[in-house]
Chains A and B, each alone.
Chain A
Amino acid sequence: METQLKKGLLDVCILAAIMNEDSYGYRIIETIQPYITVSESTLYPILRRLGEAGLLEVRPVEYHGRTRKYYHITQAGIDRVNLFLNEWNEVMTIYRFVNKEANNK
């Protein structure tokens, strides 16, 4: 997939993965892996960037005698996902047009 497109999609996939329930690094990867390829070394810098942008918050939780960082989506993060969904309607319209023309060729 084209790199710029993938970058934008990764952001919303990660936000979607914490939308219904706070989650942590390993589980986020497991959640989105069936849909988009992401390595750990890509995930953590993105989580950091999304946190700095105010789209998510980090909540450390004690677990089995160690600390796990749970990521919690903020209202700004929810807005970002909804913006993506709205934009994607337009993209789907374009997709259907391109697909129709390609199939009629």
Chain B
Amino acid sequence: MNKQEFMKELSNRLSSLSETDKEEYLEDYSELIDDKLETGMTEEEIIERLGDIDAIAGSILSSIPVTIDPDIVYTENHSVIDCVNRYRMEDGQYQFTLKIPAGTGLKEVLIEITQDDNGTPLFCTNLSYLNGSEEYHAVIRPYYQYNGGNYSYQGSDYYELITEKMSENGIGIRLYLTVDDKHYMATDTALKSTVKGRGYWLGA
């Protein structure tokens, strides 16, 4: 990939940013590539060493705070979006398995991490931003289910979210999804929560 192609690809991936933010990051990368060119490397070498472009975009996107729009009404629905598995790992991190519908119409999945079991938000991010990024509070990857000695890929609609050690007390998540212009939210039905509910809570 040459510089022009790289800049175009990066621009496409940053399209959800404001024009100002996007331009600033594109300027940074243009400057970086120009500076590296002066050390005698070729455009292709430089871009190869920059690494995976999805990871680059993910790192940038996840550094920008995401907020839940208070004007949108999210309807609680566990058939379209669900937290199917959750546990605390030995090292104190928390793991969640999310089931999210694959396919067309899916516009946005927001994950809000809560810091207590009253659902007080800690941070919020877009699911697509988490892939491969470094400036984040959690990693997400395709979920493989362990079954009879084998790990089987559960399909593109399953994701595994692993949080950093962030809370002494525990950690919660709430899921927001927009599909076909409808807004859904999943929280913990076991606790008879409402849409503004506690979220999936895991104690320490």
Contact = CB atoms under 8 A, between A and B. Distances in A.
12 contacts: A26-B32, A40-B50, A41-B59, A41-B133, A42-B134, A44-B25, A45-B59, A46-B135, A48-B63, A64-B34, A66-B31, A69-B27
A27 B31 CA distance: 11
B202 interface: no
B60 A41 contact: yes
Contact of B63 (A24, A40, A45): A45
B9 interface: no
Interface string B18-49: 00000011011111101110000000000000
B35 A41 contact: no
Chain A interface size band reads: 20 to 34
A8 to B, nearest CB: 13
B56 interface: yes
Tell me what chain A mostly uses at the interface: helix, strand, loop, or mixed: helix
Nearest to B61: A45
Interface string A1-35: 00110000000000000000000111100000000
Contacts of A64: 34
Nearest to B50: A40
B79 to A, nearest CB: 35
A97 B35 CA distance: 45
B3 to A, nearest CB: 12
Contacts, number: 57
B31 A25 contact: yes
Contacts of B34: 64, 66
Nearest to B134: A42
B55 interface: yes
Contacts of A67: 27, 31
Interface of A: 3-4, 24-27, 39-42, 44-46, 48-49, 64, 66-69
B132 to A, nearest CB: 9
Contact of B36 (A26, A41, A48): A26
B103 interface: no
Interface string B162-201: 0011000000000000000000000000000000000000
